[in-house]
Amino acid sequence: MSIRTRFAPSPTGYLHIGGARTALYCWLETKHRGGEFILRIEDTDRERSTDAAVQAILDGMGWLGLSQDEGPYYQTLRMDRYREAAEGLVKAGKAYYAYESKEEIEAMRAAAIAAGEKPRYNGHYRDSSEPLRDDPNRVIRFRNPTEGSVVFEDRIKGRIEWANAELDDLVIFRSDGFPTYNFAVVVDDIDMRITDVIRGDDHVNNTPRQINIYHALGEPVPQFAHLPMILGPDGQKLSKRHGAVSVMQYRDDGFLPHALLNYLVRLGWSHGDQELFSVEQMIELFDVGDANVSAARFDLEKLSWINQQYIKTDDPAEVATHLLWHLTEAGIDPSLGGPDPVDVVIALRERAQTLREMADKAMVWYLPLTTYDEAAVAKHLKAPTALPALHSVRAQIEALTQWKPEAVHEAIKVAAEAIGEGMGKVAQPLRVAITGTQVSPSIDHTVYLAGKDEALARIDRAIALSNG
RNA sequence: GCUCCCUUCGUCUAGUGGCCCAGGACACUGCCCUCUCAAGGCGGCGACACGAGUUCGAAUCUCGUAGGGAGCGCCA
C-alpha cells in the first residue's frame, strides 16, 4: 500500500517555523515514497479558529512550495461523520454518555491533585445503567481499557509502552455537539486512509489514547513518527519574540523559500556531512526514520548562511525575480530606470545574506545620491591624489563606447597608469564619488550599475567636493 | 505530584563496541588573497551531563543520578 500522510494544523494563527518543519517532513517522506500528502484543517475549536488563519497557513504552504495532493479538508464540514462514529461506539458498548458539569469535573480534578493523585475522570457513568436522557451537560466518553498496556513502535522514538491504568475515559464528543481532538483525528485519519502519522512530539501522550480508539473502531493503526520540537535560540519554547513568527515573515526578511526549506530539513535530520540540499536531493535522501530524537534550537545565523549560499549559486535571473519583489516593496520600479536587477544580483550576491539586504544596498543605484559619508570624503576625496585621479578616470570613462563592467575595469586601469598610481588610488575616490561611501562591490560593477551618464555626473560632483 | 520523552563543541550535527585522546557546518578567531566590503583558501579555539556496571575495549550496551521537555481539558 502506498503511503498517505497528512499535515493537520489548527487555524488559530499563522504557519510558523515548527509547523513548517512538520509539514516539510511529511511532504518529503511522502514524496520519497511516492504517496499522497493531504492537508487537513482542524478547525473544531470555534472560539479560536479564523478564516484569516486558514488563509495564512495556505499562503505559507504555497510560498514554501509544499503543495498537497488532496485537500484541504475541513473538520467543521465533517460533523455528521463524527457524531455517527461516536454514537456507533456507544451502541457497541465502547463509549457511554456522562452528565457531569464542567464544575463537577473541575472539582474532581482538584480533589485528585489535593490527594496527590493524577487528575482523572472517576468513571462515575461508566457502568451506570441510567437510561439516555437530554441534558445540557451530556457528553460521550470513551470506555478506555483498564488493564494491559498500549505498545507502539514510533519510527523516530522507538518502542513506547503505556499502561492503560494511566489513561482515563476521555470525552470524545462534547456537550456542544463537537467532537474532541483525540476523537476527530482518529476518525479523520481512518477516513482519509492515512498510513503514516507524522507530527510534533507534543502528541506522543495522545497516541496511546488514539490507538485504543482505533482498536474500538476496529481499524488498523497507522505508523507514527513524532518529531522533536524546535526551540528558540535561548533554548526556550518558541515565542513571538524569536522564531514563532509566520514563515511569510522570512520572505519579507529576504529569505529564499528553498533556503528556509534547506535550513529546516537540516534541523533535526542529516545526511553525513552534507549541508546543502536541493529539493530534489531532499526527496531522494530523506527518511523520517532518520530524524533526530531531541529538540533543536533555531539559529538565524545558520539560516542566513544557507540563504547566502543560494543567493550566490542560484541562477542570477532566478534570484532577480525574488529581488524584484523586494525592490517593489521598497517602492522601486526598475523598468523606469536604474540598473537591471539581474546585474544587481551579480554585483551583490557575495555581499548580501538576504534579499532584503541586497535591495537596501541596491538603493545607491536606484535613488539619487544625496549624502556623503564624511570620513570617506575626508580620506579619499581630500587626498592629494584624489583630484588627478578623478579627472583621469572621468576622461577614460567618458571615452568609453561600450558600457560593460569589463570595459569600465579597463578604463580605471588605464586611468591609474596615466597618473602613475595603483588601482587603489583611483578606485577609492571613484567609489566615494559613485556611492558616497567607502564600501561597495568591486569598483567596475559599482560604476557600471550607475550607468554612464549618472557615473559622470557623480564624478563631477565629487570633483567639486574635492576642490571645495 | 504522576506518566512519557530527551541529554556529543556556544548552535546544528556525524558517530549504531575497536577506524574517535571524537569528524563536518554555523558563529568566533589568525593568516593569505585584495580597489573597499564581501566571497574564497589555509589554520585556531571548542563537546561525548554525571556516576556505577557489562566488556580485552564504550560517545556507542545496562542501571542509577542530575538537568531539560511534553502531557495529565467538554484546546488542538
Nearest nucleotide relative to A426: CA against C1': B35
Question: What's the CA–C1' distance between A273 and B36, in Å?
Answer: 35
Question: What's the CA–C1' distance between A425 and B64, in Å?
Answer: 71
Q: Which three cell numbers stand for residue A100?
A: 457531569
Of residues A177 and A244, more confidence is placed in A177
Q: What is the pLDDT of residue A241?
A: 57
Q: Which three cell numbers stand for residue A328?
A: 517593489
SS3 state at A296: strand
Window 306-365 of chain A: CB closer than 7 A to strand B: 308-309, 312, 350-351
Q: What CA–CA distance (Å, rounded) separates A21 from A261?
A: 8
Q: What is the pLDDT of residue A278?
A: 97
Residue A335: is its pLDDT beyond 80? yes
Q: Is A118's CB less than 7 Å from nucleic acid strand B?
A: yes
Q: What is the pLDDT of residue A239?
A: 60
Q: Would you place residue A129 in the very low, low, confident or very high pLDDT band (cuts 50, 70, 90)?
A: confident
What interhelical angle do A423-435 and A452-467 show, nearest 10?
100
Q: What CA–CA distance (Å, rounded) separates A181 from A135?
A: 22
Q: What CA–CA distance (Å, rounded) separates A342 from A449?
A: 11
Q: Is A134's CB less than 7 Å from nucleic acid strand B?
A: no
Q: Which residue is nearest to nucleotide B40 (CA to C1')?
A: A350
- The one-letter amino acid at A401: T
**Residues A45, A74: contact at Cβ < 8 Å?**
no
Question: What percentage of residues in chain A have a pLDDT greater than 70?
Answer: 99
Residue A244: is its pLDDT beyond 70? no
Count the neighbouring beta carbons within 10 Å of the beta carbon of residue A382: 13
Q: Is A413's CB less than 7 Å from nucleic acid strand B?
A: no
Question: What's the CA–C1' distance between A234 and B29, in Å?
Answer: 23
Question: What percentage of residues in chain A have a pLDDT greater than 90?
Answer: 83
Q: What CA–CA distance (Å, rounded) separates A277 from A281?
A: 6
**Which positions on strand B lie below 7 Å from a protein C-beta?**
1-8, 10-15, 23-27, 34-40, 68-76
Nearest nucleotide relative to A47: CA against C1': B75
Q: Is A425's CB less than 7 Å from nucleic acid strand B?
A: no
Q: What CA–CA distance (Å, rounded) separates A83 from A174?
A: 10
Q: Would you place residue A116 in the very low, low, confident or very high pLDDT band (cuts 50, 70, 90)?
A: confident
Q: What is the pLDDT of residue A238?
A: 76
Q: Is A295's CB less than 7 Å from nucleic acid strand B?
A: yes
Give which of A240, A242, A246, A238 is closest to A295, Cα–Cα.
A238
Residue A28: is its pLDDT beyond 60? yes
Window 436-465 of chain A: CB closer than 7 A to strand B: 438-444
Rg over alpha carbons for chain A, rounded to the nearest Å, is 32
Q: Which residue is nearest to nucleotide B24 (CA to C1')?
A: A273
* CB burial string A303-325: b at 16+ within 10 A, e below: bbebbbbbbeebebeebbebbbe
Question: What's the CA–C1' distance between A125 and B40, in Å?
Answer: 73
Question: What's the CA–C1' distance between A25 and B60, in Å?
Answer: 27
Q: Is A210's CB less than 7 Å from nucleic acid strand B?
A: no
Q: What is the pLDDT of residue A242?
A: 58
Residue A120: is its pLDDT beyond 90? no
Q: What is the pLDDT of residue A206?
A: 95
Active site residues of A: 240
Q: Is A379's CB less than 7 Å from nucleic acid strand B?
A: no
For the four alpha carbons of A388, A392, A397 and A398, in that order, the dihedral sign comes to positive
Q: Which residue is nearest to nucleotide B37 (CA to C1')?
A: A439
Window 175-194 of chain A: CB closer than 7 A to strand B: 175-176, 178, 180-182
- The one-letter amino acid at A59: D
User: Please, what is the average pLDDT of chain A?
Assistant: 93
Residue A38: is its pLDDT beyond 70? yes
Q: What CA–CA distance (Å, rounded) separates A449 from A434?
A: 10
Task: Specify the residue for cell string 539586504.
Answer: A357
Residue A240: is its pLDDT beyond 80? no
Q: Which residue is nearest to nucleotide B26 (CA to C1')?
A: A302
Q: What CA–CA distance (Å, rounded) separates A296 from A243?
A: 12
- The predicted model gives A201-220 an average pLDDT of 95
Window 36-65 of chain A: CB closer than 7 A to strand B: 42, 44-45, 48
Q: Would you place residue A395 in the very low, low, confident or very high pLDDT band (cuts 50, 70, 90)?
A: very high
- The predicted model gives A71-82 an average pLDDT of 94
Range of weakest confidence among A123-132, A233-242, A262-271: A233-242
Q: Which residues pair with A151 in a beta bridge?
A: A161
Cut 0.90: pTM above it: yes
Instruction: Name the pairing type of β-strands A230-231 and A296-297.
Output: parallel
Q: What is the pLDDT of residue A121?
A: 87
